[in-house]
Amino acid sequence: MVAEEDRLTSERLLTVREVKDWLGVHEVTVHRWLRSGQLRGFRRGTSMGWRIPESELRRFIAESGRPQRLDAQSSASD
C-alpha cells in the first residue's frame, strides 16, 4: 500500500473541489463516489481532506463515460 501511495503522490493531486469543477457535479456527489470506491482517492490527515490523483480522475471519466467540463480541464492544467 505504501508503494502505491508513493506512486500516486508523485503526480498531480486534485481536491474534491477541483474534481467537482472538472465534472460539473456537487461536492456531495464526489464524496459519495469516494466513499463507495467508484472514485479512488486518499485522505492525508484529518484536516487536509481527500486527494484524488489526476490519473484516477481520468480513469473514472473514461470508465463511467461522464463528460468533463472543457473550461475546468484547461484551468486545471495551467
More confidently predicted of 10 and 12: 12
The type of residue at 10 is S
Percent of the chain with pLDDT over 70: 76
pLDDT of residue 14: 95
Domain ranges in the chain are 14-38
Confirm if 24 and 3 have CB atoms less than 8 A apart. no
What single-letter amino acid sits at 5? E
Q: Which of 51, 26, 31, 30 is nearest to 41 (CA)?
A: 51
pLDDT in tens, 18-77: 999 999 999 999 999 999 999 999 997 777 799 999 999 999 999 988 777 655 554 444
The alpha-helical segments, DSSP class H, found in 1-78 are: 2-9, 16-23, 27-36, 54-64, 70-76
Q: What pTM was estimated for this model as a whole?
A: 0.73
